Structure 1
Amino acid sequence: DRTAQQRYDEHGRVDRVIDPENGATYYVYVLPWVLHGHTEAALRAQAGRLLDAPAAHRDPAAVGRALATGRAPMRHRAVLLGGTGPELRAGLAALAKGDSAPTLVSGAAADLDGAVFVFPGQGSQWAGMARGLLDASPAFAASVDACADALAPHVDWSLHQVLREEPGAPSLDRVDVVQPALFAVLVSLAEVWRAHGVTPAAVIGHSQGEIAAARVAGALSLPDAARVVALRSRALTRLAGGGGMVSVALPRDEAHELLTRWGDALSLAVVNGPGSVVVAGVPGALDELLAECERRDVRARRVPVDYASHSPAVAAIRDELLADLAGVTPRPARVPIHSTVSGQLLAGPELDAAYWYRNLRHTVDFEGATRRALAAGHRVFVEVSPHPVLTMAVEETLADADATGTLVLGTLRRGEGGPDRMLRSLAEGFVRGLPVDFSPALAGGSDERVALPTYAFQRRRYWPEPEAETVSLVPAPGDAGRDAAFWRAVEAGDVPALGGLLAAAAGEPAPAPA
């Protein structure tokens, strides 16, 4: 029985295990190796140089730090992701050959002008979401700790126990649990992006996601944001069992026309994109809507909730919400907030109790907010969530607007809630041009300095080539008289006569006699 040696990073986390028999190092979390070049050929050549160099066999974290800090990023980029030297070298070999590999992310960077952080409402959650980051990311863990403290006065359960799925923790099926827990995850994932150098140029929040957006933009303090999400979700429990929601694949105008037959029983709750809406209302009318959509061959499905957000039903909890949130004191936002409620750019102070009631009662115009962000010059949209539920809607809106040079990213994925997926999302942004700082992912390992191979210059000759200019010195074939005169002048050494013949052949006047 052999016992592996554990090594700890500066945050007290086990970050690597060393095999006592062969000394091999196995990192608990994946590490990034960043390479780049002015051309794709240079990038591949650089990978080949590193693969053949002694540096490729040094401590993987030390190699990663040297790669991440050695040179300014160039246009053609690649990120290798692995926990061991052999994994990373296998990715290097694939890159050098121009092949793909599971550990390789590559692309050509563009000049990107900052990202819009997009925060979804309920629907991106899953049991165990982001649990892997609690142990792997100090930025995420610190933010969750702060959120837990801010939520504690308003809830009777532990945020940490819910996220870790500990025995006795309440289920995410409860709206007054899932919405505060999801808020904490959204806000904390934003901190991970920030810790890696990606900060929001603007924010968009979808339904309850607007609370996280307001917090990340600085328009709400953390205690106020926690109060809004906890008491808003608690009020929603009063509506449980009285309604529902259905997603319908129709444009806004067609959905409006379809819903007229049901009057106030059904409402247009959400406009996600040019061909996607959500309808809220009473259960019987929703059943009829589903049947009508099936008859028309329109895709429709139930949203797994038993209340009707963004509909007249919310009026029943209006007074409760206004009273519970009366003490909320919004402040100026640090970055623009594209409201999905008012259709306006919010400065921050508008986010009072009345606004949060409208946020729950009115239609969520996510498509409109996306178009306004695009019109403001933004081309990068990052969905900050445990699973992407809005990226497709963003892409459809951008395509409908004929937008070019855009980038839409997610963060985590269902079943992939740890640092591996987080780093891959960061890498996907980096190779397209986002200014990602990989140093937080390279904090462990040894302190050794690694000498990297020099840049693989693609040498090309740039000396100007003179243009060839041909002048016939011999009279054209067939001109027998001139031909004979030419050779007589050559044999006789008659320079003036020879000069005259050559000038005539070139179409120039004969030289004057000396």
Structure 2
Amino acid sequence: MLEHRAVVLGSGGVGALGALARGVPHVGVVRGVARSRVSAVFVFPGHGAQWAGMGAELLEREPVFADAMAECGRVLEPFTGFSLLEVVRSGVGLERAEVEQPVLWAVMVSLARLWASVGVVPSAVVGHSLGEIAAAVVAGGLSLEDGARVVALRARVIAEELVGLGGMVSLALPVSEVEELVGRWPGLSVAAVNGPGSTVVSGDVAGVEGLLAHCVGAGVRARRVAIDYASHSVQVERVRERLLEVLAPVVPVSSGVPFFSSVSGERLDTAGLDAGYWYENLRGRVRFGDAADGLLADGRSVFLEVSTHPVLAVGLQETLEAAGRFGVVLGTLRRGEGGAERWVTALAEAHVHGLPVNW
């Protein structure tokens, strides 16, 4: 096996070849050192990856992606009433939960299909909140139809009963410090732990605004998540019975691909991904950091975020560093970079780190 690898991208031209020959960095050259017997954990994020135009260029350039999106659109439309492909091409409606969530799910599932078409398949999967629905489908624990049911009907319940009641804030602090901090505002709680120094808080509007104002004054790095509801908080309890009812038809099965749960923080048999699980996925704390620790303990060290923008890369890198482990965190698309050039770059990055890309 050739361990030291480089890919010269077409956009780099002759200058990239010269830079490679001289051993100097160049934007048109992707380099890496490959390890043998490398396989990837597919990572699916939740909110934060969306942007107008995501997936639109690939629809026109990559037939595998386009076919997968058309299939997702067929199973979504009975639940959503809108055309997935029209929304992706126009970007209209992505500010609404009942549109944004199904579209994100479809794009992630279709990107996983695109990776598989070039020989890169998951050795395990992990998802974050909404991303767990895509992870379950890709692993084989949910049918495509059941995945569409979960993401679309749950998003509709959120839009009708939770939107406007709360918000979420991402903090660059460890969970121990955040738990002490949120105790100052009634109605706030820790929503997600993404890594040793990456924590998300959710709760009512007044609490979120108070927390943000405090962080600005204290010099704590914080940003408001671009949603107006409080996932993973006590507010979700008001929709419990409705969610259990609309998701009751879901029939999960055991999958052949290991599924690491961000609800339990451990590996889970996907036969347990019933309506009750998807309520807990929305109500409980996202234990993504625990799931990542479990993956490391299971010998996994290459993480491929299958998304339209890398959202979980920082938390994963923090987890690797805290564990003192060598690992690689890769992505797929990026905000504003969703076409053929970005896709080929993602393939190059995967190849130079040893993933079996079939060029």
AA of the residue aligned to 2:49: S
1:419 aligns with 2:340: yes
1:364 aligns with 2:286: yes
1:96 aligns with 2:24: no
Secondary structure in 2 matching 1:322: helix
1:247 aligns with 2:170: yes
Q: Which of 202, 220, 224 is the equivalent residue of 2:146? A: 224
- Larger relative contact order, structure 1 or 2 (CA cutoff 8 Å, min sep 6): 2
Alignment correspondent of 1:111:
36
Alignment correspondent of 2:358:
437
CA-based RMSD of the aligned residues comes to 1.5
Q: Which of 162, 182, 192 is the equivalent residue of 1:259? A: 182
Alignment correspondent of 1:126:
51
AA of the residue aligned to 1:253: S
Q: Deviations over 1:239-277 (max 9, x none)?
A: 1111111112221111112222334x1111111111121
**Does the Cα contact within 8 Å between 1:113 and 1:378 map onto a contact in 2?**
no
**Does the Cα contact within 8 Å between 2:50 and 2:100 map onto a contact in 1?**
yes
Q: Deviations over 1:315-335 (max 9, x none)?
A: 111111101000000011121
Alignment correspondent of 2:157:
235
Alignment correspondent of 1:297:
219
Task: Give distance in 1, aligned partners of 2:29 and 2:171.
Answer: 37
Q: Which of 305, 308, 317 is the equivalent residue of 2:239? A: 317
Alignment correspondent of 1:43:
none
Task: Give distance in 2, aligned partners of 1:149 and 1:284.
Answer: 41
Gaps of 5+ in 1: 1-72, 439-514
Distance 1:283 1:197, change over 3 A: same
Alignment correspondent of 2:297:
375
**Does the Cα contact within 8 Å between 2:136 and 2:259 map onto a contact in 1?**
yes
TM score, norm. by length of structure 1: 0.68
**Does the Cα contact within 8 Å between 1:206 and 1:364 map onto a contact in 2?**
yes
Task: Give distance in 2, aligned partners of 1:107 and 1:287.
Answer: 43
Q: Which of 379, 391, 397 is the equivalent residue of 2:319? A: 397
How many Å apart are 1:100 and its aligned residue? Answer: 3.7
AA of the residue aligned to 1:417: G
Alignment correspondent of 1:5:
none
After superposing on structure 2, the runs of 4+ consecutive aligned residues of structure 1 that deviate more than 4 Å are 87-90
Q: Which has the larger radius of gyration?
A: 1
**Does the Cα contact within 8 Å between 2:185 and 2:210 map onto a contact in 1?**
no
Identity among equivalent positions (%) equals 52
Secondary structure in 1 matching 2:272: coil
How many Å apart are 1:350 and its aligned residue? Answer: 0.5
Task: Give distance in 2, aligned partners of 1:195 and 1:89.
Answer: 30
**Does the Cα contact within 8 Å between 1:246 and 1:280 map onto a contact in 2?**
yes
Alignment correspondent of 1:82:
10
**Does the Cα contact within 8 Å between 2:305 and 2:330 map onto a contact in 1?**
yes
TM score, norm. by length of structure 2: 0.96
Task: Give distance in 2, aligned partners of 1:252 and 1:311.
Answer: 16
How many Å apart are 1:389 and its aligned residue? Answer: 1.0
**Does the Cα contact within 8 Å between 2:97 and 2:155 map onto a contact in 1?**
yes
AA of the residue aligned to 1:130: G
**Does the Cα contact within 8 Å between 2:265 and 2:289 map onto a contact in 1?**
no
Secondary structure in 1 matching 2:9: strand
Alignment correspondent of 1:69:
none
Task: Give distance in 2, aligned partners of 1:294 and 1:108.
Answer: 41
How many Å apart are 1:177 and its aligned residue? Answer: 0.4
**Does the Cα contact within 8 Å between 1:112 and 1:380 map onto a contact in 2?**
no
Secondary structure in 2 matching 1:278: strand
How many Å apart are 1:343 and its aligned residue? Answer: 2.0
Instruction: Give the total of aligned pairs.
Output: 358
Q: Which of 312, 316, 328 is the equivalent residue of 1:407? A: 328
* Aligned ranges 1:61-72 → 2 under 5 Å: none
Gaps of 5+ in 2: none
Task: Give distance in 1, aligned partners of 2:22 and 2:217.
Answer: 53
**Does the Cα contact within 8 Å between 1:336 and 1:345 map onto a contact in 2?**
yes
